[in-house]
Amino acid sequence: MAILATEELTKQFPRVTALRQLTVTAGTGVTGLVGANGAGKSTLIKILLGLLPPTSGRAQVLDMDVGTHGAQIRRVVGYMPEHDCLPPDVSATEFVVHMAQMSGLPRTAARERAADTLRHVGLHEERYRPIGGYSTGMRQRVKLAQALVHDPQLVFLDEPTNGLDPQGRDDMLALIRRIGSEFGISVLVTSHLLGELERVCDHVIVIDGGTLLRSSAISEFTQATQALAVEVEEGLEPLAARLSQVGESVAVQGRLLTVEVRSDETYDAVRDAVCDLDLNLIRLEQRHGRIEDVFRV
């Protein structure tokens, strides 16, 4: 099932064109939406939420049209904005309970869900203190909790790792992965950092200047440039020569030998060559192509 689909979607602001005939679909699981600042990521999310009317084209979320079914979409979708959106003088618990009620949950259910959700995002005793005293990491967790509290089918997370330190970034990414797998909630997550999304996404959409650069499963991104890194104690040159002889494409990078993986036989070829030449193998590892590579073409 497609969680979202756009068709020739265009959004024109008085001064800029934010989206230009964007046609893209995404399935269940975690979908990354990658692009530089101003690429049109936030505009796309606002259109998908039905908050911004598109200039032309169509968009569907969970098989509902954003133009005609905005209210129904917003009942089953969660949204974590990029910007700060928390009042400082209430506690996280009060705030998330209130937001659950705004999603239509009865008061007692709202309380239960808020407690559950705050625990899942990793806010414990501090949830009773006013939000004004929270760190950036805690604020991001509260923002995430309010997006999840009504148990949506799909969440839009706009730059959730913004402003976090490396540890906080890792925690947030792990949480996003859990939302997609363990919680069973589909995720559309945006970032301008390509590298961090490939760790958590099943599918990546890359947009630039409002147009689609690429949309494909994460496996395709990495498969395309899959390679093996081989390190041996001595005898890198003979190994390279031997592998070229049997038809593998190799490149020497300092003390490492990079072998392009064409099929499973490549692994056998490397093993046989190392054995035949009687070399001491130190390292043999997968080298994933990075999402950045789509920009290097």
- State which residue, 116 or 260, has the beta carbon closest to another protein: 116
Residue with tokens 């950036």: 136
Q: Tell me the C-alpha distance between 18 and 16, whole Å.
A: 6
User: Out of 14, 15, 37, 83, which residue is the one contacting another protein (CB under 8 A)?
Assistant: 83
- Minimal distance, residue 26 CB to another protein, in Å: 19
Q: Tell me the C-alpha distance between 52 and 164, whole Å.
A: 29
User: Out of 7, 8, 65, 116, which residue is the one contacting another protein (CB under 8 A)?
Assistant: 116
User: Out of 6, 60, 93, 103, which residue is the one contacting another protein (CB under 8 A)?
Assistant: 103
From the list 82-90, 201-209, 268-276, 284-292, the region that binds another protein by CB under 8 A is: 82-90
Q: Which of residues 147-186 bind another protein (CB under 8 A)?
A: 150-151, 178, 182-184
- Minimal distance, residue 120 CB to another protein, in Å: 6
User: Out of 64, 86, 217, 284, which residue is the one contacting another protein (CB under 8 A)?
Assistant: 86
Report how many residues bind another protein under the rule CB under 8 A: 41
- Minimal distance, residue 126 CB to another protein, in Å: 17
- Minimal distance, residue 79 CB to another protein, in Å: 4
Q: Where are the beta strands (DSSP E) in the chain?
A: 2-12, 17-27, 30-34, 56-61, 64-65, 77-80, 154-157, 186-191, 203-208, 211-217, 227-232, 250-253, 256-260, 281-287
Token output for 93: 């618990």
Query: 3-class SS at 77?
Result: strand
From the list 21-29, 106-114, 235-243, 247-255, the region that binds another protein by CB under 8 A is: 106-114
Residue with tokens 């395309």: 224
Under rule CB under 8 A, residue 87 binds another protein: yes
- Minimal distance, residue 68 CB to another protein, in Å: 14
- State which residue, 163 or 195, has the beta carbon closest to another protein: 163
Inter-CA distances, 290 with 36, 193, 194, 218, 252, Å: 16, 11, 8, 10, 19
Backbone angles phi and psi of 142, in degrees to 5: -65, -40
User: Out of 33, 34, 44, 105, which residue is the one contacting another protein (CB under 8 A)?
Assistant: 105
Asked if 188 and 111 count as a contact pair (C-beta separation under 8 A), the reply is: no
Under rule CB under 8 A, residue 190 binds another protein: no
Under rule CB under 8 A, residue 65 binds another protein: no
Asked if 47 and 67 count as a contact pair (C-beta separation under 8 A), the reply is: no
Q: Tell me the C-alpha distance between 187 and 202, whole Å.
A: 10
End-to-end CA distance of the chain: 32
- State which residue, 102 or 193, has the beta carbon closest to another protein: 102
Q: Tell me the C-alpha distance between 112 and 86, whole Å.
A: 21
Q: Tell me the C-alpha distance between 128 and 94, whole Å.
A: 8
Under rule CB under 8 A, residue 67 binds another protein: no
**Binding stretches for another protein (CB under 8 A):** 46, 49, 51-52, 71, 74-75, 77-79, 81, 83-90, 94, 98-99, 101-107, 109, 113, 116, 120, 130, 146, 150-151, 178, 182-184
